[in-house]
Amino acid sequence: MSHRCGVLASALLAAGFLLAQNKPPANLTVQDMLKLPQPPADHRIPYGTDPLQFGDLRLPKTKGPHPVVIFIHGGCWQARFDLAHTAGVCAALTAAGVATWSLEYRRVGNPGGGWPGTFEDVARGADHLRSIARQHRLDLRRVVAAGHSAGGHLALWLAARQRLPKTSPLYAAKPLKLRGVVSLAGVGDLRAFDQRTPRVCGDAISQLLGGSPSEAPQNYRHGSPFELLPLGVPQRLINGGRDQIVPLEVGRHYEEAARRKRDKVTLTVLDDAGHFEFVAAQSAAYPVIEKAVLDLLNGEKR
């Protein structure tokens, strides 16, 4: 059995997902997500001095130089969810020939998390690839950002930050260049998502951005990808038709806005997927994710 097949098989068994014949599987819950296997990374590398400023690097078995996916976990931007549950999907992408740089970052509830610390960490973590590229044979000409849910927001924001004004506390003169973004059930418009009912993340967005839109309008302008369109890089949005946490209309709303701004954006809808299938390497969603990542890394523009 190949390394990749072994990872996927162990994931399937450990998660305990039994598929009844001719019956669609139930959608994964947050409890299922937290039970996903956690294959270890090759290297855990700090990009700052805070204990939460680190990334998990996984490297293909080939010599390289390796294309890279910056993967950002979700969890309503809150401290209680860390990067561990994304280990399986990162390991699967690495088995497909892509180095994965899974970022941890300070979140709402962590000292220094929220505005602007969460954004500063993700930006600093992405740019840190420049410091480790030579040692680990990373090809910085082929880098894609990907993220799930709140991490999908942050992945889109990594592409958007090149449009920040110099007056922004998050401005960087030369942010790491991306080939594209894969947003998995991501939140592209923070203002609109915060106004949805029910608010599945509670007041996490106002905590993330330091207030409501009326209290911190500039933070919404500088922290929400929707308000920084066009991003200027290809964007692949992948959403589940049965997602009740980030419903399909959230993805459609962002796609329509990005198209109006003439960004290259596509929305793929997986009719039977809920919210958490996107971080399960054994799910039917995974091959779609892998293809989107590889297409962007290989220069696919559509």
**Residue 199's pLDDT is what?**
86
In this prediction, residue 25 carries a pLDDT of 54
Q: Is the pLDDT of residue 14 over 60?
A: no
- The whole-angstrom separation of Cα 135 and Cα 13 is 35
Q: What's the CA gap between 86 and 188, in Å, rounded?
A: 20
Give the CA angle between residues 208, 243, 202 to the nearest 5°. Answer: 30
CA 237 to mean position of chain CA atoms: 11
Task: Using a cut of 0.85, tell me whether the model's pTM lies above it.
Answer: yes
Using CA atoms, how far apart are residues 55 and 125, in angstroms rounded to an integer? 7
What's the mean pLDDT when you consider all of the chain?
91
Q: How far is the CA of 146 from the CAs of 13, 109, 158, 207, in angstroms? A: 26, 23, 10, 23
Mean pLDDT of 163-187: 97
Beta bridge partner(s), residue 181: 145, 235
pLDDT in tens, 82-96: 999 999 999 999 999
Flag whether pLDDT at 10 surpasses 80.
no
- What is the C-alpha separation between 233 and 101, in angstroms, rounded? 20
Residue 100 has phi, psi (to 5 degrees) of -115, 135
Ordered by start, the domain boundaries in the chain are: 3-11+26-297
Contact residues for 252 (Cβ-Cβ < 8 A; gap 6+) = 239, 267
Question: pLDDT tens for residues 251-293?
Answer: 999 999 999 999 999 999 999 999 999 999 999 999 999 999 9
Q: What are phi and psi of 96, to 5 degrees?
A: -85, 0
Name the fold adopted by 3-11+26-297.
Rossmann fold (3.40.50)
Is 11 a residue whose pLDDT tops 60?
no
- Residue 200 has a pLDDT of 86
pLDDT digits (tens, 9 = 90+) for 184-220: 999 999 999 999 878 889 999 999 999 999 999 999 9
Angle, alpha carbons 128-116-232 (nearest 5°): 65
pLDDT score of 197: 79
